[in-house]
Structure 1
Amino acid sequence: MPEPLTLVTALTSWTADPVSLLVIVLLGGWYGLSARRLGRWPRARTIAFYGAGLGVYAIATLSSIGVYADTLFFMRAAQIILLLMVAPLGLALGAPFTLLRDTGPAWLVARLRSLLHGPFGKVIAFPATASALLIATPWLLYFTSWYPTVLRNGVVDELTRLALLLIGLVYFWSRLQLDPVPRRFHHLVSVWITLAEVVCDAALGLTLWFSGHIVAESYYQALGRTWGPDLRLDQTFGAGVLWIVGDLAGLPFLGALVNRMTKEDAKQAKEIDRVLDEREEAGEDSTRPWWESDPTLSERFRRG
């Protein structure tokens, strides 16, 4: 049982979780060495990977959130949101798979490319698959025996943390499309999916908030905690974290999507201007629709 949670202990309590430290050292070391080897890696991607990715992962597992995750329901809820929604977004913004493609061993890159364009890669990157994994995971965690097992079994706890991080990474990898993907989808698809996730986050939060059932009640009662909120209020706080913080965590993702859409629109506009300029220099009919000369649309236009 850790000390009673206060503002001081919330800021000063840390734990040296060996698995988390190993993940941070291995991923951080590989990313830094690979970026240096490449020599022309964007600084913004490095900041996102270390700060919003590994930094948030460290906060979720090594700070007071990790210390009190087995004691307070709302602290575990905060950890789940950070591992599922925030840290993976930072890692995905760092474009690690592109870095691996450009610097990794040839045999590994070939193997990953084969996996990416095979049936497994196409299924896992499909919008419905990645979204279903992200949405279903918290429901399965809280409303099955998974959650009590996580609290009682350290190995399951560590594996669950890594699974949450991996599920979130698969989701943001397939939605942001910064890294190579089997098939690209319009970013508006991700916007609509995000709106659906907002509804699901609200449904999960409201269910835990107003449910008369205390999740893992026997475990929390056995702790004999005499400080902090009671079990009902603790779960209410946790429901609010899952709902409100979960939705707030989606705002940076929407911002990243808008940024991607803006850049792609600007790139397409430059390509259209280039085609029009080439037609004008070649003396082509200026009344002819530009898309007939566009390399991505001309074939479709002829088929029509």
Structure 2
Amino acid sequence: MLPAAAGLPPLPPLTPLRLLTAWRFEPAVVAACLALGGSYAAGLRRWHRSGARWPRGRVTAFALGVLLLALVGLSFLGVYDDTLFWVRALQNLVLLMVAPLFLAVGAPLTLAAAAVPDRWRPRMRRWFHGRTAQVLTFPFTVTILLVVPLLVLYLGPLYEQTLRSGVVSGLVSAVIGTCGFVYFWTRFRIDPTPRAGSYLVTLWITGVEMVGDAVLGVVLWLGPIVAEAWYAARGWGPGLRTDQLIGAGILWIGGDVVGLPFVGVVLHRFTREEEHKAREIDARLDREEAEAARDAAAMSAEKPAGRSAAGSEPGPPPQRSRLWWEDDPQLAERFRRRP
């Protein structure tokens, strides 16, 4: 709640120095970060006790995600989120697009699944592959989860409620962060997912998300002032229109900029998946070639000795050599040839 509106001393102007020195203690934020970090560390210890290795990059990514969540709630982003429109816009952008990205790269669900007791695993497996999970992770569904929350927040009465109530603000932040995590979890597929989608579909969804950012940015850029009466009590800093223009630019342009690492991860995952498929195809072709050579050698050894070439029975007609792509089911279908 804005201190002046709550009868408290107003916050001082946000200067470059206060960007670094403005901090607060928020028990809910601290508890959430400790719960996430502690659960991940516990799962990591169990994983290491089993003798398996865990990539250090995943640990680093998850730690960065938790750190970003802490900064959102405890740094100047948490201190001034009810005072400046652009600060809350940056806060929501980090909650939706940045922190969940790093958390998903950390693959926390794999560690959580390894910690599930054996007696619960059949039930969890049935739910994980059930219809509800399939619907929740459908590409259209996760697109809605990424695009709609900010549209609902800024284009309706909910935004001003987040300014007036800390409970509403906390719940909305939790929903935004959860939606972001579900999106990146299902699109990266570093953790197991109920639905094995295509990375090309993910790139299409990224285009839809960019359109959603543009729509929200244009509406905030050209539309009326959001929560005008609330922000008018500030008395310092940029004007209300300028403040909202900065926030609109953060949500629009900033959303596209922070999406670049996401595209990079998707392309990296797509490349690795294609390389893995190519290795599988090569290995299968090598096995088939070796089996054909053994069969040919066995047939040659079974021919009667001493039979002249003129009196020998005619063998099967020679087979046309096959091109490598004719043994790939996907490429063979594309070129209308069957393996």
TM more than 0.5: yes
Letter in 1 for 2:229: S
Q: Choose 253-262 or 94-103, whichever is displaced more.
A: 94-103
TM-score, normalisation: structure 2: 0.83
Equivalent residue number for residue 9 of structure 1 = 18
Equivalent residue number for residue 248 of structure 2 = 239
Q: 1:142 aligns with which of 118, 132, 154?
A: 154
The answer on 1:203 being equivalent to 2:215 is: yes
Q: Cα RMSD over matched residues?
A: 2.4
CA 1:296 to 1:46, structure 2 compared with 1: closer, same or farther past 3 Å? farther
Answer whether contact 2:225 2:241 (CA < 8 A) is retained. Answer: yes
Bigger CA radius of gyration: 2
Offset of residue 78 of structure 1: 0.2
Structure showing the higher helix proportion among its residues: 1
> What does 1:25-174 correspond to in 2, within 5 Å?
25-39=34-48, 40-51=53-64, 53-174=65-186
Offset of residue 6 of structure 1: 0.3
The answer on 1:254 being equivalent to 2:263 is: yes
Report the count of equivalent residues: 300
Offset of residue 288 of structure 1: 4.2
Q: Which runs of 5+ in 1 are unaligned?
A: none
Q: What is the SS of the residue equivalent to 2:212?
A: helix
Post-superposition CA distance 1:88-120 (Å, at most 9, x none): 111111111111112233355444433222222
CA 1:298 to 1:111, structure 2 compared with 1: closer, same or farther past 3 Å? farther
Q: Measure the CA separation in 2 of the matches of 1:36 and 1:79.
A: 32
Q: Measure the CA separation in 2 of the matches of 1:65 and 1:262.
A: 37
CA 1:28 to 1:111, structure 2 compared with 1: closer, same or farther past 3 Å? farther
Q: What is the SS of the residue equivalent to 1:2?
A: coil
Q: Which runs of 5+ in 2 are unaligned?
A: 1-9, 294-318
Offset of residue 134 of structure 1: 1.2
Post-superposition CA distance 1:140-181 (Å, at most 9, x none): 001111101010011111111111110101111111111111
Q: Choose 71-80 or 104-113, whichever is displaced more.
A: 104-113
Q: What is the SS of the residue equivalent to 1:283?
A: helix
Equivalent residue number for residue 18 of structure 1 = 27
Offset of residue 208 of structure 1: 0.4
Equivalent residue number for residue 197 of structure 2 = 185
Identity level (%) = 46
TM-score, normalisation: structure 1: 0.92
